[in-house]
């Protein structure tokens, strides 16, 4: 359970739409770049709905058994252990599958009957089908910027969801978020946001991803703890974004022009 209200600033009534989807028993899909607030949004949604939140970070080796459950040997006998997805259904929780495209294709198929009007989870190893209660909600996310032919979300999967596109907020809103989360002054937060905008403009020029709001908050926290701004930006932003020496030099020039 999320016991304290997470800080989250809405951009386009996404909380209202997500809560409406929940009450209509519809699953949701979040898409957007890393560090733009998708996970924080899910925490705030869980708090607003007063439901437990179970988050699964998907990866290449994530199997169906990892999600649904498996038999384990305990005391010389086989004992069934629920996976996070099964646990969420039984508890009437929100199950959030983060970066769903990273999971194996055969694993994502298991959510199909949960994501349509059946709202069921077949558990083949137990020979039973679990029906989701009204309180259960399924949510998934992915970063379209990392899409490839091998790692894309099938239409048969995505067309089951109510979808939200997340992006970095407007400069003023993003500065307010950085200020609130790190405790620095607003003008300093605005400078960090300007630096982020510069890095994001390099995304198609050799930089895989620009600075996320999360990185700006990291830099702000260092600055708040009396680390000089240039040093904080180097540690929290430039060195994190790339290992390429020429790109590092370009990013440091940007930072030095602002601080």
Q: What is the pLDDT of residue 223?
A: 98
* Distance, CA of 159 to CA of 161 (rounded, Å): 5
At 204 the pLDDT is 75
Instruction: Give the pTM.
Output: 0.89
Mean pLDDT, 10 residues at a time, the chain of 259 residues? 95 95 98 92 98 96 94 91 97 97 87 95 94 98 69 86 94 97 98 97 85 97 98 97 94 96
Convert the pLDDT of each residue in 127-141 to its tens digit: 999 999 999 999 999
Per residue in 73-118, pLDDT (tens digit) is: 988 899 999 999 999 999 999 999 999 999 888 888 899 999 999 9
Predicted pLDDT at 108: 87
Q: Which pLDDT belongs to residue 131?
A: 97
Domain 14-165 class, CATH top level: alpha beta
């Amino acid at each position: 359970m999320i016991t304290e209200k997470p800080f989250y600033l809405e951009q386009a009534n996404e909380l209202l739409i997500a809560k409406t989807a929940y009450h209509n028993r519809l699953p949701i899909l979040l898409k957007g770049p890393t560090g733009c607030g998708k996970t924080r949004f899910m925490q705030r949604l869980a708090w607003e709905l007063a439901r437990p939140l179970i988050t699964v970070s998907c990866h290449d080796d994530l199997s169906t058994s990892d999600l649904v459950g498996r038999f384990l040997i305990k005391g010389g006998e086989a004992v069934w252990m629920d996976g996070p997805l099964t646990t969420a259904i039984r508890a009437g929780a929100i199950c959030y599958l983060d970066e769903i495209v990273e999971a194996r294709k055969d694993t994502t198929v298991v959510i199909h009957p949960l994501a349509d009007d059946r709202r069921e989870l077949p558990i083949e190893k137990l020979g039973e089908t679990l029906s989701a209660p009204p309180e259960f909600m399924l949510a998934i996310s992915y970063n379209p910027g990392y899409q490839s032919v091998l790692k894309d979300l099938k239409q048969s999967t995505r067309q089951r969801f109510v979808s939200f596109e997340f992006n970095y907020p407007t400069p003023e809103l993003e500065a307010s978020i950085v200020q609130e989360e790190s405790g620095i002054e607003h003008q300093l937060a605005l400078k960090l946001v300007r630096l982020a905008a510069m890095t994001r403009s390099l995304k198609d020029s050799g930089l895989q991803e620009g600075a996320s709001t999360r990185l700006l908050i990291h830099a702000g926290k260092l600055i708040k703890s009396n680390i000089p701004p240039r040093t904080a930006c180097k540690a929290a932003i430039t060195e994190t974004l790339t290992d390429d020496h020429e790109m590092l030099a370009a990013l440091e020039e940007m930072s030095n022009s602002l601080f």
